[in-house]
Amino acid sequence: MEEVYRKINKLSEKYRDYTAENLSRLVKIKSLSMQEKEVQLELKRQMEEAGFDEVKIDGLGNVIGRIGNGKKVIAIDGHMDTVDMGNMENWDFDPLGGEIKDGYVHGRGSVDQEGGPAAFVTSGRILKELGFDRDMTIYFVGSVMEEDCDGLCWKYIVEEDKIKPDFAISTEPTNLNIYRGHRGRMEIRVTFHGISCHGSAPERGDNAIYKASRAALEIEKLNERLAYDEFLGKGSVTISEFKSGSPSLCAVADYAHLHLDRRLTWGESKEIAIKEVEEVVAPLGGKVEVLYYEETAYTGTRYGMEKYYPTWKIPEDHPVVQTGVNAYKALFSKEPKVDKWTFSTNGVTMNGYYGIPMIGFGPGNEVLAHAPNEKVPIDDLVKASAFYAAFAYEI
Protein backbone atom coordinates (compact mmCIF):
# COMPACT_ATOMS: atom_id res chain seq x y z
CA MET A 1 0.00 0.00 0.00
CA GLU A 2 2.89 2.31 0.68
CA GLU A 3 3.88 2.13 -2.97
CA VAL A 4 0.28 2.80 -4.06
CA TYR A 5 0.15 5.95 -1.92
CA ARG A 6 3.47 7.10 -3.30
CA LYS A 7 2.09 6.75 -6.84
CA ILE A 8 -1.13 8.56 -5.89
CA ASN A 9 0.83 11.52 -4.54
CA LYS A 10 3.02 11.58 -7.63
CA LEU A 11 0.05 11.49 -10.01
CA SER A 12 -1.98 14.11 -8.12
CA GLU A 13 1.04 16.44 -8.41
CA LYS A 14 1.51 15.51 -12.06
CA TYR A 15 -2.09 16.56 -12.75
CA ARG A 16 -1.85 19.81 -10.78
CA ASP A 17 -2.40 22.04 -13.82
CA TYR A 18 -5.03 19.69 -15.25
CA THR A 19 -7.08 19.95 -12.02
CA ALA A 20 -6.72 23.72 -11.80
CA GLU A 21 -7.70 24.19 -15.45
CA ASN A 22 -10.73 21.94 -15.07
CA LEU A 23 -11.86 24.00 -12.08
CA SER A 24 -11.28 27.22 -13.98
CA ARG A 25 -13.61 25.98 -16.73
CA LEU A 26 -16.30 25.21 -14.18
CA VAL A 27 -15.98 28.57 -12.42
CA LYS A 28 -16.41 30.43 -15.71
CA ILE A 29 -19.93 29.00 -16.09
CA LYS A 30 -22.51 30.76 -13.93
CA SER A 31 -24.46 28.02 -12.18
CA LEU A 32 -27.13 29.22 -9.76
CA SER A 33 -29.57 26.66 -8.37
CA MET A 34 -31.90 25.35 -11.09
CA GLN A 35 -29.60 26.88 -13.72
CA GLU A 36 -26.80 24.29 -13.65
CA LYS A 37 -27.26 22.74 -17.10
CA GLU A 38 -24.12 24.12 -18.77
CA VAL A 39 -21.81 23.47 -15.84
CA GLN A 40 -23.19 19.93 -15.56
CA LEU A 41 -22.45 19.27 -19.22
CA GLU A 42 -18.89 20.51 -18.67
CA LEU A 43 -18.44 18.27 -15.61
CA LYS A 44 -19.80 15.31 -17.58
CA ARG A 45 -17.29 16.04 -20.35
CA GLN A 46 -14.46 16.17 -17.81
CA MET A 47 -15.44 12.82 -16.30
CA GLU A 48 -15.61 11.23 -19.73
CA GLU A 49 -12.23 12.69 -20.67
CA ALA A 50 -10.77 11.27 -17.45
CA GLY A 51 -11.86 7.78 -18.50
CA PHE A 52 -14.70 7.04 -16.10
CA ASP A 53 -16.49 3.74 -16.80
CA GLU A 54 -19.88 5.45 -17.10
CA VAL A 55 -21.19 9.00 -16.84
CA LYS A 56 -24.86 9.96 -16.83
CA ILE A 57 -27.17 12.80 -15.86
CA ASP A 58 -30.20 11.77 -13.81
CA GLY A 59 -33.72 13.16 -13.87
CA LEU A 60 -32.97 15.95 -11.41
CA GLY A 61 -29.80 16.97 -13.24
CA ASN A 62 -27.14 15.38 -11.02
CA VAL A 63 -24.05 14.21 -12.92
CA ILE A 64 -23.13 10.71 -11.75
CA GLY A 65 -19.83 9.21 -12.85
CA ARG A 66 -18.98 5.59 -12.05
CA ILE A 67 -15.73 3.68 -11.69
CA GLY A 68 -15.91 -0.03 -10.94
CA ASN A 69 -18.86 -2.36 -10.57
CA GLY A 70 -18.25 -4.09 -7.25
CA LYS A 71 -20.41 -4.92 -4.24
CA LYS A 72 -19.14 -2.23 -1.89
CA VAL A 73 -20.48 1.20 -2.91
CA ILE A 74 -18.79 4.52 -2.16
CA ALA A 75 -20.07 7.95 -3.18
CA ILE A 76 -18.02 11.14 -3.39
CA ASP A 77 -20.32 14.17 -3.56
CA GLY A 78 -19.90 17.80 -4.47
CA HIS A 79 -22.64 20.26 -5.39
CA MET A 80 -22.25 22.27 -8.58
CA ASP A 81 -24.65 25.14 -7.96
CA THR A 82 -23.38 28.35 -6.41
CA VAL A 83 -24.82 31.43 -4.79
CA ASP A 84 -24.92 34.68 -6.76
CA MET A 85 -22.13 37.28 -6.81
CA GLY A 86 -23.56 39.85 -4.39
CA ASN A 87 -22.26 43.41 -4.52
CA MET A 88 -19.72 43.44 -7.36
CA GLU A 89 -17.89 46.36 -5.74
CA ASN A 90 -16.70 43.95 -3.04
CA TRP A 91 -14.82 41.82 -5.56
CA ASP A 92 -11.18 42.50 -6.48
CA PHE A 93 -11.44 40.26 -9.55
CA ASP A 94 -14.03 38.89 -11.96
CA PRO A 95 -16.00 36.25 -10.02
CA LEU A 96 -16.60 34.35 -13.28
CA GLY A 97 -13.07 34.82 -14.58
CA GLY A 98 -11.68 31.52 -13.31
CA GLU A 99 -8.25 33.16 -13.13
CA ILE A 100 -5.34 30.88 -12.21
CA LYS A 101 -2.79 33.08 -10.48
CA ASP A 102 -0.37 33.08 -7.53
CA GLY A 103 -1.15 29.46 -6.64
CA TYR A 104 -4.94 29.89 -6.56
CA VAL A 105 -7.97 29.37 -8.76
CA HIS A 106 -10.11 32.48 -8.34
CA GLY A 107 -13.87 32.90 -8.62
CA ARG A 108 -17.35 32.11 -7.41
CA GLY A 109 -17.67 28.40 -6.66
CA SER A 110 -13.94 27.73 -6.39
CA VAL A 111 -14.39 26.96 -2.68
CA ASP A 112 -18.15 26.40 -2.43
CA GLN A 113 -17.87 24.10 -3.97
CA GLU A 114 -16.75 23.17 -7.46
CA GLY A 115 -13.18 22.69 -6.22
CA GLY A 116 -14.22 19.36 -4.71
CA PRO A 117 -15.66 17.97 -7.97
CA ALA A 118 -12.65 19.23 -9.97
CA ALA A 119 -10.43 17.32 -7.53
CA PHE A 120 -12.49 14.13 -7.68
CA VAL A 121 -12.40 14.11 -11.48
CA THR A 122 -8.63 13.93 -11.13
CA SER A 123 -9.02 11.19 -8.50
CA GLY A 124 -11.01 9.17 -11.00
CA ARG A 125 -8.29 9.64 -13.60
CA ILE A 126 -5.69 8.50 -11.07
CA LEU A 127 -7.67 5.39 -10.14
CA LYS A 128 -8.08 4.44 -13.81
CA GLU A 129 -4.38 5.00 -14.46
CA LEU A 130 -3.46 2.80 -11.49
CA GLY A 131 -5.79 0.04 -12.71
CA PHE A 132 -8.02 0.17 -9.63
CA ASP A 133 -9.67 -3.25 -9.46
CA ARG A 134 -11.18 -3.65 -5.99
CA ASP A 135 -14.63 -5.23 -5.57
CA MET A 136 -16.11 -1.76 -5.36
CA THR A 137 -18.34 0.74 -7.14
CA ILE A 138 -17.40 4.40 -6.75
CA TYR A 139 -19.93 7.06 -7.70
CA PHE A 140 -18.64 10.59 -8.24
CA VAL A 141 -21.63 12.91 -7.93
CA GLY A 142 -21.87 16.51 -9.11
CA SER A 143 -25.15 17.38 -7.41
CA VAL A 144 -27.65 20.18 -7.97
CA MET A 145 -29.88 22.61 -6.05
CA GLU A 146 -27.92 22.30 -2.80
CA GLU A 147 -27.75 26.04 -2.20
CA ASP A 148 -31.53 26.27 -2.38
CA CYS A 149 -32.30 23.04 -0.50
CA ASP A 150 -29.36 21.11 0.91
CA GLY A 151 -29.89 17.38 0.65
CA LEU A 152 -32.71 17.45 -1.90
CA CYS A 153 -30.35 16.07 -4.56
CA TRP A 154 -29.50 13.05 -2.42
CA LYS A 155 -33.14 12.45 -1.57
CA TYR A 156 -33.62 12.06 -5.31
CA ILE A 157 -30.54 9.88 -5.76
CA VAL A 158 -31.55 7.47 -2.96
CA GLU A 159 -35.29 7.36 -3.63
CA GLU A 160 -35.47 7.75 -7.42
CA ASP A 161 -32.07 6.59 -8.73
CA LYS A 162 -32.00 3.83 -6.09
CA ILE A 163 -28.36 4.49 -5.22
CA LYS A 164 -27.61 4.18 -1.50
CA PRO A 165 -23.86 3.97 -0.87
CA ASP A 166 -22.23 2.07 1.98
CA PHE A 167 -19.90 5.02 2.66
CA ALA A 168 -19.64 8.59 1.41
CA ILE A 169 -17.39 11.64 1.33
CA SER A 170 -18.66 15.19 1.02
CA THR A 171 -16.18 17.44 -0.76
CA GLU A 172 -17.54 20.64 0.81
CA PRO A 173 -14.63 22.85 1.96
CA THR A 174 -12.93 21.65 5.15
CA ASN A 175 -9.52 23.35 4.83
CA LEU A 176 -8.21 19.80 4.23
CA ASN A 177 -9.40 18.69 7.68
CA ILE A 178 -11.60 15.65 8.17
CA TYR A 179 -15.10 16.63 9.26
CA ARG A 180 -17.56 14.27 10.90
CA GLY A 181 -20.76 16.26 11.30
CA HIS A 182 -22.56 19.55 11.66
CA ARG A 183 -25.68 21.06 13.17
CA GLY A 184 -28.98 20.55 11.42
CA ARG A 185 -31.41 23.29 10.54
CA MET A 186 -35.05 24.13 9.92
CA GLU A 187 -36.96 26.92 8.24
CA ILE A 188 -39.99 27.89 10.31
CA ARG A 189 -42.70 30.45 9.62
CA VAL A 190 -44.74 32.01 12.42
CA THR A 191 -47.90 33.75 11.18
CA PHE A 192 -50.04 36.32 12.98
CA HIS A 193 -53.45 37.63 11.98
CA GLY A 194 -55.20 40.79 13.20
CA ILE A 195 -58.11 43.02 12.28
CA SER A 196 -57.59 46.07 10.14
CA CYS A 197 -59.20 49.44 10.66
CA HIS A 198 -58.46 53.01 9.71
CA GLY A 199 -55.09 54.19 10.96
CA SER A 200 -56.67 57.29 12.47
CA ALA A 201 -58.37 55.11 15.11
CA PRO A 202 -56.04 52.12 15.72
CA GLU A 203 -57.90 51.15 18.91
CA ARG A 204 -60.71 49.80 16.71
CA GLY A 205 -58.43 47.13 15.21
CA ASP A 206 -56.01 44.42 16.24
CA ASN A 207 -52.50 45.05 14.93
CA ALA A 208 -50.71 41.89 13.77
CA ILE A 209 -47.36 43.69 13.73
CA TYR A 210 -47.52 44.29 17.49
CA LYS A 211 -48.18 40.59 18.10
CA ALA A 212 -45.31 39.59 15.86
CA SER A 213 -43.02 42.14 17.47
CA ARG A 214 -43.72 40.85 20.96
CA ALA A 215 -43.08 37.33 19.69
CA ALA A 216 -39.81 38.44 18.10
CA LEU A 217 -38.51 39.64 21.45
CA GLU A 218 -39.44 36.30 23.06
CA ILE A 219 -37.70 34.39 20.27
CA GLU A 220 -34.57 36.42 20.94
CA LYS A 221 -34.70 35.19 24.55
CA LEU A 222 -35.38 31.61 23.40
CA ASN A 223 -32.07 31.61 21.52
CA GLU A 224 -30.20 32.06 24.80
CA ARG A 225 -31.59 28.91 26.43
CA LEU A 226 -31.25 26.36 23.63
CA ALA A 227 -29.34 23.10 24.02
CA TYR A 228 -25.56 22.73 23.79
CA ASP A 229 -23.42 19.84 22.51
CA GLU A 230 -19.72 19.59 23.33
CA PHE A 231 -18.78 18.78 19.73
CA LEU A 232 -21.37 20.55 17.57
CA GLY A 233 -21.92 23.54 19.83
CA LYS A 234 -25.12 25.36 20.70
CA GLY A 235 -28.47 25.31 18.96
CA SER A 236 -29.62 28.70 17.73
CA VAL A 237 -32.62 30.54 16.37
CA THR A 238 -32.78 33.90 14.64
CA ILE A 239 -35.38 35.88 12.72
CA SER A 240 -34.28 36.31 9.13
CA GLU A 241 -37.43 37.94 7.75
CA PHE A 242 -40.33 40.05 9.07
CA LYS A 243 -43.18 40.78 6.67
CA SER A 244 -46.54 42.40 7.21
CA GLY A 245 -49.59 43.45 5.27
CA SER A 246 -52.56 45.78 5.57
CA PRO A 247 -55.28 47.17 3.27
CA SER A 248 -53.28 50.40 3.00
CA LEU A 249 -50.55 52.41 4.64
CA CYS A 250 -53.35 54.25 6.41
CA ALA A 251 -54.65 51.08 8.04
CA VAL A 252 -53.79 48.78 10.93
CA ALA A 253 -51.86 45.71 9.78
CA ASP A 254 -53.98 42.56 9.69
CA TYR A 255 -51.14 40.17 8.81
CA ALA A 256 -47.51 39.57 9.80
CA HIS A 257 -45.08 36.69 9.66
CA LEU A 258 -41.62 35.89 10.99
CA HIS A 259 -39.19 33.59 9.18
CA LEU A 260 -37.00 31.68 11.62
CA ASP A 261 -33.59 30.20 10.83
CA ARG A 262 -33.29 27.43 13.45
CA ARG A 263 -29.97 25.58 13.83
CA LEU A 264 -30.26 22.25 15.64
CA THR A 265 -27.52 20.78 17.79
CA TRP A 266 -27.23 17.14 18.82
CA GLY A 267 -30.35 15.92 20.64
CA GLU A 268 -32.63 18.58 19.18
CA SER A 269 -35.38 17.33 16.86
CA LYS A 270 -38.00 18.88 14.65
CA GLU A 271 -40.67 18.18 17.26
CA ILE A 272 -38.65 19.79 20.06
CA ALA A 273 -37.92 22.90 17.99
CA ILE A 274 -41.57 23.36 16.99
CA LYS A 275 -42.79 22.93 20.56
CA GLU A 276 -40.31 25.52 21.86
CA VAL A 277 -41.49 28.12 19.37
CA GLU A 278 -45.16 27.28 19.91
CA GLU A 279 -44.80 27.83 23.64
CA VAL A 280 -43.46 31.31 22.95
CA VAL A 281 -45.89 32.46 20.24
CA ALA A 282 -49.16 30.65 21.05
CA PRO A 283 -50.17 33.16 23.77
CA LEU A 284 -49.77 35.87 21.12
CA GLY A 285 -51.88 34.04 18.56
CA GLY A 286 -49.00 32.85 16.39
CA LYS A 287 -49.31 29.82 14.12
CA VAL A 288 -46.14 27.75 13.57
CA GLU A 289 -45.33 25.77 10.42
CA VAL A 290 -42.26 24.10 8.93
CA LEU A 291 -41.89 25.28 5.34
CA TYR A 292 -41.76 23.03 2.28
CA TYR A 293 -39.45 23.40 -0.71
CA GLU A 294 -40.64 22.41 -4.17
CA GLU A 295 -39.07 23.72 -7.36
CA THR A 296 -38.37 22.70 -10.94
CA ALA A 297 -34.84 21.54 -11.79
CA TYR A 298 -33.16 22.56 -15.04
CA THR A 299 -34.23 19.17 -16.44
CA GLY A 300 -37.90 20.07 -15.98
CA THR A 301 -38.36 17.69 -13.04
CA ARG A 302 -40.32 19.15 -10.14
CA TYR A 303 -39.23 17.83 -6.78
CA GLY A 304 -39.38 18.83 -3.14
CA MET A 305 -38.94 18.11 0.55
CA GLU A 306 -39.78 19.59 3.94
CA LYS A 307 -37.31 22.22 5.09
CA TYR A 308 -36.13 20.12 8.01
CA TYR A 309 -32.49 19.15 7.69
CA PRO A 310 -31.43 16.79 10.50
CA THR A 311 -28.36 17.17 12.67
CA TRP A 312 -25.71 14.51 12.13
CA LYS A 313 -22.37 13.44 13.50
CA ILE A 314 -20.20 10.34 13.21
CA PRO A 315 -18.20 9.07 16.22
CA GLU A 316 -14.48 9.75 15.88
CA ASP A 317 -13.69 6.04 16.24
CA HIS A 318 -16.14 5.05 13.47
CA PRO A 319 -14.48 3.04 10.66
CA VAL A 320 -15.32 5.67 8.02
CA VAL A 321 -13.59 8.40 10.06
CA GLN A 322 -10.60 6.20 10.83
CA THR A 323 -10.32 5.22 7.17
CA GLY A 324 -10.01 8.90 6.34
CA VAL A 325 -7.47 9.43 9.13
CA ASN A 326 -5.36 6.48 7.95
CA ALA A 327 -5.46 7.60 4.30
CA TYR A 328 -4.44 11.12 5.32
CA LYS A 329 -1.53 9.93 7.46
CA ALA A 330 -0.31 7.55 4.76
CA LEU A 331 -0.37 10.32 2.14
CA PHE A 332 0.88 13.32 4.09
CA SER A 333 2.84 11.78 7.01
CA LYS A 334 1.01 13.76 9.69
CA GLU A 335 -2.12 13.61 11.80
CA PRO A 336 -5.23 15.30 10.39
CA LYS A 337 -7.46 17.62 12.36
CA VAL A 338 -10.87 16.02 12.90
CA ASP A 339 -13.58 18.67 13.23
CA LYS A 340 -17.01 19.84 12.02
CA TRP A 341 -18.64 22.30 9.62
CA THR A 342 -20.28 25.49 10.81
CA PHE A 343 -22.78 25.42 7.94
CA SER A 344 -25.09 22.73 6.54
CA THR A 345 -24.33 20.25 3.72
CA ASN A 346 -25.90 17.37 1.79
CA GLY A 347 -25.00 15.28 4.83
CA VAL A 348 -28.40 16.23 6.26
CA THR A 349 -30.01 13.64 4.03
CA MET A 350 -27.08 11.31 3.33
CA ASN A 351 -26.53 10.64 7.02
CA GLY A 352 -29.34 12.57 8.73
CA TYR A 353 -32.17 10.82 6.89
CA TYR A 354 -30.57 7.71 5.38
CA GLY A 355 -27.85 6.87 7.90
CA ILE A 356 -25.04 6.61 5.34
CA PRO A 357 -21.69 6.69 7.19
CA MET A 358 -19.73 9.65 5.84
CA ILE A 359 -17.03 12.21 6.36
CA GLY A 360 -16.18 15.55 4.85
CA PHE A 361 -12.87 16.41 3.18
CA GLY A 362 -12.60 19.28 0.77
CA PRO A 363 -10.27 21.92 -0.65
CA GLY A 364 -10.58 25.52 0.49
CA ASN A 365 -11.57 27.35 3.63
CA GLU A 366 -15.27 27.56 4.48
CA VAL A 367 -14.89 31.19 5.61
CA LEU A 368 -14.77 32.08 1.89
CA ALA A 369 -18.06 30.30 1.16
CA HIS A 370 -20.64 32.84 -0.08
CA ALA A 371 -18.06 35.60 0.36
CA PRO A 372 -16.48 37.98 -2.17
CA ASN A 373 -12.94 37.25 -3.44
CA GLU A 374 -13.49 33.50 -3.23
CA LYS A 375 -10.41 31.50 -4.22
CA VAL A 376 -8.96 28.06 -3.55
CA PRO A 377 -5.29 27.04 -3.21
CA ILE A 378 -4.15 24.74 -5.99
CA ASP A 379 -2.17 22.84 -3.34
CA ASP A 380 -5.53 22.01 -1.71
CA LEU A 381 -6.87 20.67 -5.00
CA VAL A 382 -3.81 18.44 -5.41
CA LYS A 383 -4.10 17.02 -1.90
CA ALA A 384 -7.84 16.48 -2.21
CA SER A 385 -7.31 14.59 -5.47
CA ALA A 386 -4.84 12.32 -3.70
CA PHE A 387 -7.09 11.84 -0.66
CA TYR A 388 -10.18 10.68 -2.57
CA ALA A 389 -8.13 8.12 -4.51
CA ALA A 390 -6.37 6.91 -1.36
CA PHE A 391 -9.66 6.58 0.51
CA ALA A 392 -10.91 4.17 -2.16
CA TYR A 393 -7.90 1.95 -1.57
CA GLU A 394 -7.99 2.31 2.23
CA ILE A 395 -11.68 1.50 2.72
* Residues noted as catalytic: 81, 146
Q: Are the C-beta atoms of residues 109 and 374 closer than 8 Å to each other?
A: yes
Other CB atoms within a 10 A radius of the CB of residue 271 amount to 8
Instruction: Identify which of 201, 198, 205 has the alpha carbon closest to the alpha carbon of residue 250.
Output: 198
**H or E stretch covering 22:** helix 16-27
In this structure, the dihedral spanned by the alpha carbons of residues 87, 88, 94 and 97, taken in order and rounded to 10 degrees, is 50
CA atoms within 13 A on the CB side of 188: 26
- Give SS3 for 314: coil
CA distances in angstroms from 181 to 142, 155, 170, 384, listed in the order given: 20, 18, 11, 19
Q: Are the C-beta atoms of residues 20 and 98 closer than 8 Å to each other?
A: no
According to DSSP, the residues that pair with 178 across neighbouring strands are: 338
Phi, psi of 145 (to 5 degrees): 65, 15
Q: How far does CA 169 lie from the centroid of its chain?
A: 12
